Structure 1
Amino acid sequence: MRDQAARSLLCRASRLVRAPDTTGHLWAFVLSGIGTVLATRAYLELTSYPKLGGGSLHIAHVLWGGLLMAAGLCVAIAFLGRSARAWAAVLGGIGFGLFIDEIGKFVTTRTDYFYQPAAGLIYLVFAGLVLLVGWSRGRGTPSPQERTAAALQLALAGVTSGVSEAERAAALRSLRDSADPVDVAILRLLVAVPARESRWGAARERTLQRVRAAADRLLTRRWPVVLAAVYLVVQPVVTLTGAALEHATGELARAPQRGADLVVIGASLATALLGVRGGLLLRRERQRALRALHLALLVDLLFAQIFKFTVNQFAAVSALAVNLMLLWVVSAETRRRWASDPPARQQRRTRPPLEPDM
């Protein structure tokens, strides 16, 4: 039995295993980084970009970013438990935000912090990280090795901070059919670790439940999706109208970032066409309408928004916030209709055979 356990552990060590709380910590890293970039830019703008140092010295905040990323890494290496992982994610995110904020200095020969495409590059980096979060969240059913590692990590965290009854029950369910001696030992440890009772945790859970209930009530109504369709037509049309006026006056040809302007115009045209298609389909074929609206938002977020930041700098944050809110509305409505219409979904998956011509 001891040899079997050793072989099982060796097999598990041969590949990378996902942590169970990866998504939450990646979100903490990304949101900390985004908040740091916005706060840094706002602070420097309000204080007229002060210089930290004297004479020929200038202590760039990229150095503080490196120190904070090193601090986050040291916390993750030196300490166990969920608190250490949370602190590592937040410290690393703040440090990364300070680092990436100075990207203009590292992509220009003049080390230009005010390099105009820098805002678009920063947005592109964080958009890639958001896609990484989505990828880590949608990788399918955990493997047996990942279930074992997740249960063991929960049990180890429970030794110092306890586990909630919901966490304990979920971990026990994930391993209850396994006869592996390592899994059996973990089950015993899960039963033995103390329960975690936190007033703050209970209050947070109640608040989240209320927020989810309010969001569900909102999404059962028709107007949020209609509003999304209207916005996805009106906003690009306003952009295209402004571009046409600038072209008529000659300002577009003299624009310093003319290539970025042309990409924004092309993406706005595609967004408007998809928004019109989604709006026209809303009454007859709501599922196809939602797909068109979802694609319109992705075109704007993954293509146009990069160059909007290049042209408008950080003033494009407000448009980004609106687009993200509408993406949440459309995605939630798509999931709701997908879950509530299994016969239609099954019909789409299994098409009837073609009848032979007579």
Structure 2
Amino acid sequence: MTNSTAARSSYLMRAGLVRNVRSGEHLTTFVVSGVATVLVTRLILSLSGYPQIGGKGLHIAHVLPGGLLMLIAISLLLGYVGPVVRPAAATVGGIGFGLFIDEVGKFVTSDNNYFYKPTAAIVYVVFVLIILGFRFLTTRRPIDPREELANVIDHAVEGVAGGLSRRRRAEASELLRAVPLQVQGRQETRDLLAACPADEVELAAPVDAGWQALQRGFERLATHPKAPRMAVAVLALQVVGALLIAIVVGDGLNHLPVLGVTAGSLLSAMFTVRGALALRKGNRARAVRLFELAVLVSLLMTQVFQFAATQFAAAGGMLLDLVMLGLLRAERDRMRREVESTTKAKVLRLPPDPDQPPFPEDPSDPV
């Protein structure tokens, strides 16, 4: 391990808190499951007339099965090693948390009012704070090569006991290729991964398959020739739509949440216009970044006040924001891969350095 690598060592890593390279996917699964559970629960209760489960003075609130599902998720994470169980735990935990947070109106009011009007805004803010807090903890410093190596070992732990399928082995090999050759323990990890027996029997992974299909769909849409113009049109329509919905449903312009929606919409509109101008000048990377800022302002500001003004009627705007953010992130990742591949090609054309390989990849790695 080089001195520069050792200098980047943080206290958290020395304390044993190593980050999961797929933590963003698991958090997204948790949040999507939680938000969907809140919306579906509200819809079912509304259609069924808000029935009460129990009788004779008893009422079994859905916060109780929510707590049970969160307990199951924690038990899965504590009881099993390896990466296989995490998508399922994130899904089950998200559903449980959604059932729990849906009853927040009962927790913050003296009369246990489930229909407390600010509930929608409180639920939305809680999920936003979860995302922001998690992103701060996981992105405040780049992933260290030793953390990437630890994630490869995490796959190998599963493979040593039960074997690895071709798909799991390919995932681990891809992570291993990103680890520089000089990182201590890389060779031993490669040997351990190669020693894992082949076994095509694995748990069904509908969550992983769903995210991969969604990512492929986002990439296809983001590379469509009309995607930039459609992005500008959708962002502009969303600004106008948010204002109209807030004014009509939210008691007019004298209502504080409506003023918040107005301010957020105007800020999003400013970023959208600047992005459109950058797109006309041929600066696609800057345009994508400005469009992302427009969507983030909508998610973190406009939608907060929208939920306060219109309650759960704002769910459509939130869903549209998430779709737009997914498309823009897919396009940004595609452009980043193009830059990296170009840089890699230039590096590989340089004369070989006898002391350092031109690209940190071991051709004998298992694939």
TM-score relative to the length of structure 2:
0.74
Cα distance change on mapping 1:238 and 1:84 into 2, 3 Å: closer
Is the 8 Å Cα contact of residues 282 and 289 (structure 1) preserved in structure 2?
Answer: yes
Paired amino acid for 1:330: L
> Using the alignment, how far apart are the partners of 2:230 and 2:335 within structure 1?
18
Identity of aligned residues (%): 37
Shift of residue 264, structure 1, vs aligned partner: 0.8
Paired amino acid for 2:38: V
Cα distance change on mapping 1:195 and 1:25 into 2, 3 Å: farther
Is the 8 Å Cα contact of residues 159 and 197 (structure 2) preserved in structure 1?
Answer: yes
Match of 1:283 in 2: 280
> Using the alignment, how far apart are the partners of 2:151 and 2:276 within structure 1?
44
2:317 corresponds to which of 316, 319, 329: 319
Structure having the higher helix fraction is: 1
Match of 1:114 in 2: 115
Does 2:269 correspond to 1:265? no
Matched residue count: 327
- Aligned ranges 1:167-246 → 2 under 5 Å: 167-170=171-174, 172-173=176-177, 177=181, 180=184, 186-197=189-200, 215-240=218-243
CA RMSD of aligned residues (A): 3.8
Cα distance change on mapping 1:67 and 1:297 into 2, 3 Å: same
> Using the alignment, how far apart are the partners of 1:88 and 1:200 within structure 2?
13
Does 2:328 correspond to 1:330? yes
Cα distance change on mapping 1:124 and 1:278 into 2, 3 Å: same
2:302 corresponds to which of 301, 304, 310: 304
TM-score relative to the length of structure 1:
0.76
Paired amino acid for 1:113: Y
Cα distance change on mapping 1:40 and 1:273 into 2, 3 Å: same
Cα distance change on mapping 1:176 and 1:161 into 2, 3 Å: farther
Is the 8 Å Cα contact of residues 224 and 329 (structure 1) preserved in structure 2?
Answer: no
Superposed CA offset, 1:198-243 (max 9, x none): 6998999999888766644433334222122123223323444677
Structure 2 unaligned regions, length at least 5: 1-11, 344-367
Shift of residue 70, structure 1, vs aligned partner: 1.6
Secondary structure at the counterpart of residue 305 of structure 1: helix
Shift of residue 286, structure 1, vs aligned partner: 3.3
> Using the alignment, how far apart are the partners of 2:111 and 2:56 within structure 1?
20
Paired amino acid for 1:264: V
Cα distance change on mapping 1:245 and 1:321 into 2, 3 Å: closer
Is the 8 Å Cα contact of residues 30 and 91 (structure 2) preserved in structure 1?
Answer: yes
Is the 8 Å Cα contact of residues 145 and 183 (structure 2) preserved in structure 1?
Answer: no
Shift of residue 341, structure 1, vs aligned partner: 6.7
